[in-house]
């Protein structure tokens, strides 16, 4: 019985007041789990391509365009949704991205291209943990807003995109 009272008194002296004990976390809950080196995690190019396309869709005034003329002939890497990605053989891999876009008429193209580069880079690095080596932006054309149509009224303005633009929409 006496040992129990001494242990309780020693515990109180070591840990301080009841308020202080509430803020002290036990050591068992603060241990970190070491990273496992017994396996490998690989993210496919298709997944990275989907992430890059989602980043592109989040930028106002931008639409995905068709691929480069060589890719449309079947030469080079596959392009989907106006994006093409490749991974190098480093560990972890570094990502290279080519973005083929249309820019809304009236916007400053260098600013939009910068937004595309920053958005795609941060999005991919956040979700994959891989380093983005480069984001190349290829502006393939500009597009015009389609005017709102009222019933029975035809618009005198053309609603077609400027030549060289794709049919994709955000």
Domain contains 1:
no
Distance separating alpha carbons of residues 37 and 162, to the nearest angstrom: 53
Q: Looking at residues 149-167, what average pLDDT do you find?
A: 48
Domain contains 115:
yes
What tens digit of pLDDT does each residue of 20-58 get? 545 454 454 444 445 556 788 889 999 999 999 999 999
pLDDT value at position 159? 45
Domain contains 6:
no
How do strand 62-64 and strand 131-143 relate by DSSP bridges?
unpaired
pTM for the model: 0.59
Query: Within a 10 A sphere around the Cβ of 25, how many other Cβ atoms?
Result: 7
Are 131 and 170 in contact, with CB atoms under 8 Å apart? no
Q: Which domain holds residue 131?
A: 45-143
What tens digit of pLDDT does each residue of 73-94 get? 555 555 677 899 999 988 889 9
Are 142 and 105 in contact, with CB atoms under 8 Å apart? yes
Specify the number of domains making up the chain.
Answer: 1
Q: Which of 7, 140, 11 is nearest to 69 (CA)?
A: 140
Domain contains 79:
yes
Domain contains 67:
yes
Are 115 and 59 in contact, with CB atoms under 8 Å apart? yes
């Amino acid at each position: 019985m006496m040992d129990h009272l001494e242990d309780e008194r020693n515990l109180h002296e070591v840990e301080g007041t009841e308020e202080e004990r509430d803020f002290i976390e036990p050591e068992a809950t603060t241990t970190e789990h070491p990273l496992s080196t017994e396996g490998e995690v690989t993210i496919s190019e298709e997944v990275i391509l989907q992430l890059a396309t989602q980043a592109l869709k989040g930028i106002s005034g931008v639409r995905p365009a068709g691929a480069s003329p060589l890719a449309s002939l079947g030469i080079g890497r596959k392009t989907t949704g106006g994006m093409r990605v490749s991974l190098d053989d480093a560990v972890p891999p570094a990502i290279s991205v080519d973005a083929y876009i249309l820019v809304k008429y009236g916007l400053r193209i260098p600013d939009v291209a910068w937004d595309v580069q920053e958005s795609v880079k941060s999005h991919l690095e956040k979700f994959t943990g891989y380093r983005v080596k480069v984001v190349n932006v290829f502006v393939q054309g500009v597009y015009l807003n389609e005017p709102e149509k009222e019933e029975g009224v035809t618009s005198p303005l053309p609603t077609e995109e400027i030549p060289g633009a794709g049919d994709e929409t955000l």
